[in-house]
Structure 1
Amino acid sequence: MTQPIHVLIVDDIRNNITALEASLARPDVSVLKAESGPAALELLLKHEVALAILDVNMPGMDGFELAELMRGSPRTARVPIIFLTATAQDTGRTFRGYEAGAVDFLYKPFDSRILNSKVDVFIQIERQKQQLAAQLSTVQQLLDANEMLMAVLGHDLRTPLSAVIASAEYLSRFVQDENVANIGTRIKSSGMRMVRMVDQLLNLARLRGGRVTLQPRPVELMTLARNIVDEYEARVGKGRIFIFRDGDTLLQGDGDLLSQVFSNLIGNALQHGRDGSAIQVRLDGSAADELVICVQNAGEIPADVLPTIFAPFRSGRSQQESGGLGLGLYITHEIALMHGGSVKARSTNDAGTTFEVTLPRAPRPRVGRTEPAQPFRLS
């Protein structure tokens, strides 16, 4: 059921109110009536009004004064106002009405058809606002339900996955039968892949639900990079990932989110880079107001994949090959935007693939939504 749309009529002459009420009668319109400015203000405190039709000449508080009070209140500042007056046409009074916030100024006697046409416009606008509000509420409920589902999924899956991975680890390390050990290794690999998928889905739900907020603090990017590299070296061995620093790499940012940027980019390089090739992580802090993170690996991204590399559920390989859902680069893009930065990708057969994240020294507010960054190519 749609809510009735309220139209406020303010006039000190009751017969005028009755005539206007009859003219505006519609099934979905509720007419609020007031015979003075103070009475109108009381109604405005109780009801959301789509349009106010004010008489100019009223004892005590006239229509201009009432309009100025309405414009001074956040609750009623955006209520459209149409002035009605029985006095002779006066350009000065007309301009004063518009200065007071009127959207129209009519002189009596007026053509009721013209007034009704004007009122219909504001009724349609209010109805559209109600529909948009209902749609927004529905979308928010869906987002909340989606986030709850992801949270339950993540919580309920982690416990059995931990048992599966631990059991697979035991089989691969302590069972003498080589076939069984190989099966354990495959089970462990698949279990770790499922863990990464769960993590990516949880991060996606939080990002799209607007539940991830920055918690800026002093962050040393070199320390973050070193920690993530140490974690990966424990899995793939030392001597493959190299870190280079130039200048001051201290900034104000969310350390947890920026750690995820390093983890996503290095993990992507390991997954999609040429087998056994070196990975370079370069931190450029030579500029006064920004820092640049570059992660480079051998191997080329296909030309048809590069334009959509930061889109969700996209990657350079199939999900089976990538070990995830193709969300890592999308999440990296969103985290960079949250800090007021950007991320780009370039890839050629000779130079390999480089992801470049530019971050300001201090987070800049994110205004609106930005589409994923377009790739750039070497000249």
Structure 2
Amino acid sequence: MKTRVKCLLVDDLDDNLLTMSALLRADDVEVLTARSGREALELLLVHDVALALLDVQMPEMDGFELAELMRSSERTNQVPLIFVTAGAREMQPLFKGYDAGAVDFLFKPIEPWVLRSKAQVFFDLYRARQQLSDELRERTETLRLNELFTAVLAHDLRDPLNAMMTAAMLIERQAELESVQRSAARIVSSGRSMSRMISDVLDLARARLAGGIPVHREPAQLGRVAQRVIDEQRLAHPQRAVELHSQGDLQGIWDEDRLAQAVGNLVGNALVHGRPDLPVVLRLDGSAIDDVHLSVISAGTISTELLPHIFDPFRGSTRPRASRAGLGLGLYIVDQIARAHRGRVAVCCEGGHTTFTLSLPRRLA
């Protein structure tokens, strides 16, 4: 059965309303009638209509004035309008009508089959639009529930994972056999990788469900954050060189832990994907009054196909899925942390090098 739609007829003459109502009314079409622009506006406050047919020549408020009021309202500015007139087919009124938002004109006396055919087109378009809207709403809700389930699952996985890692570290310390120690160390290493993945999934859920990653701002020093990240990365990549260059004032009001997470993701990404024989360079520039800029430079470039999607979740990894140690969320989380600080992150490839630049306002305006 077709979705029932509503059609609005506006005319100051009862005979015209009766005639058009009889032509358009059907089991799946409800006809609303108004004898003035004021009555029409009152009906539009209550009903969603698929089409409005407006008589041009009405006292107090003519069809053009009513159309302009409808176009100025967010509730009714998308309603298709057909003007009905008994006047001559002069160009000036036509231009005025189309400027007011008309999609068509009908001239009296109205041919019944013309009225029905034109109205049916807009009824079908309205039904199709409603169906698409319902499907979008349903899929959006399904996606929201999936993300909520993922967030709850990731949160609940932390407890058994922590218990497993605690037991593995205890075995690693107390085991006498070297093979047992190695096995325990592998369990601990895998557990830490899983913990990072769970944290990434939780951050993804926060960004999607809560409108962004939460941050807790307090006075912080970017140079201290960068040095901490470099020390951690050198332990994870002892064979790689990381250089730090800084200038200017590096103080700001930021979430230091989130900032360390963003810098760690950028430096870690550069160490993994950059050329291993050349150093990763970290530059801090605090010479500007309002903003601080952090750049991570590594040898190598990113493909032009990937570059537009580099900060998209699950699409921004520069490696194939099988070779990834994570979920491909690192750069997406960097972008979300930058947005949470009202900053931005950008990438540039030139001269055989890739540069990620994180720009942060010193304080929230």
TM-score by length of 2: 0.78
Q: Secondary structure at the match of 1:103?
A: strand
Q: Is the aligned partner of 1:97 residue 2:101?
A: no
Find the aligned partners of 2:252 and 2:26 in 1 and give their Cα distance: 61
* Matching of residues 16-95 of structure 1 within 5 Å: 16-95=16-95
**How much has 1:157 moved relative to structure 2?**
0.5
Instruction: Choose the corresponding residue for 2:334, options 332, 335, 350.
Output: 332
Which runs of structure 2 are paired with 1:123-272 in the superposition (5 Å)?
Answer: 123-207=123-207, 211-212=211-212, 221-232=222-233, 241-249=242-250, 258-272=259-273
Deviations 1:245-278 (A, max 9, x none): 1345567877665443212122334545677985
The number of residue pairs the alignment matches comes to 359
Match of 2:346 among 342, 348, 356: 342
Quote the Cα distance in structure 2 between the aligned partners of 1:280 and 1:80.
59
**TM-fit CA distance, 1:341:** 4.0
Aligned partners of 1:190, 1:139: CA distance in 2, in Å? 35
Distance 1:105 1:274 in 2: 68
C-alpha deviation, 1:145, in angstroms: 1.2
Q: Could you tell me whether the CA contact under 8 Å between 1:336 and 1:357 is conserved in 2?
A: no
Which is further off, 137-146 or 98-107? 98-107
Q: Does the 8 Å contact 2:144/2:209 carry over to 1?
A: yes
Q: Which amino acid aligns with 1:101?
A: G
Aligned to 1:367: none
Residues of 2 paired with 1:27 and 1:87: CA distance? 33
CA distance in 1, matches of 2:276, 2:95: 75
Q: Distance in 2 between matches of 1:318 and 1:186?
A: 24
- One-letter code of the match for 1:137? R
Q: CA deviation at 1:216?
A: 10
Compared CA separation, residues 355 and 306, structure 1 to 2 (3 A): farther
- Please say if residues 82 and 105 of structure 1, whose CA atoms lie closer than 8 Å, have aligned partners that are also in contact: yes
CA distance in structure 1 between the aligned counterparts of 2:309 and 2:36, rounded to whole angstroms: 63
Q: Deviations over 1:136-163 (max 9, x none)?
A: 2123212211221121111111001111
| Cα contact 2:12–2:36 (8 A) shared by 1 | yes
Local SS of the residue matching 2:227: helix
Structure 1 residues 210, 80: CA separation in 2 closer, same or farther (over 3 Å shift)? Answer: farther
- Separation in 2, partners of 1:256, 1:134: 41
Measured in 2, the distance between the counterparts of 1:303 and 1:101 equals: 46
Residue 44 of structure 1, CA deviation: 0.7
The answer to whether the 8 Å contact 2:10/2:35 transfers is: yes
| Correspondence for 1:366 | none
- Residue 285 (structure 1) shift: 4.4
Superposition deviation, residue 4 in structure 1: 2.4
Aligned runs of 1:310-321 on 2, under 5 Å? 310=310, 312=314, 315=317
Letter in 1 for 2:197: M
Please, which moves more after superposition, 113-122 or 312-321? Answer: 312-321
Q: Which amino acid aligns with 2:129?
A: K
Change (3 A) 1:259 1:302: closer
Counterparts of 2:93 and 2:324 in 1: how far apart (Å)? 71
The worse-fitting range, judged by mean Cα deviation, of 149-158 and 110-119 is: 110-119
For residues 214-249 of structure 1, the C-alpha deviation after alignment (integer angstroms, 9 at most, x for no partner) is 869787543442343355467667995442113455
Which deviates more from structure 2 when the two are superposed, residues 184-193 or residues 205-214?
A: 205-214
Measured in 1, the distance between the counterparts of 2:362 and 2:48 equals 41
Report the alpha carbon displacement of residue 199 of structure 1 after superposing the two structures with TM: 2.0
Structure 1 residue 177: Cα displacement = 2.5
How many percent of aligned residue pairs carry the same amino acid?
42
CA distance in 2 between counterparts of 1:140 and 1:79 reads 25
User: What is the root-mean-square deviation of aligned Cα atoms in Å?
Assistant: 4.1
Segments of structure 1 that go 5 or more residues without pairing to the other structure are 364-379
CA distance in 2, matches of 1:22, 1:83: 18
**Contact residue 301 and residue 349 of structure 2 kept, 8 A:** no
Tell me whether 19-28 or 163-172 shows the greater mean CA deviation: 19-28
Contact 2:301 2:354 in 1 (8 A): no
Distance 1:55 1:319, change over 3 A: closer
Rate the CA distance shift 1:360–1:98 in 2: closer, same or farther, 3 A.
farther
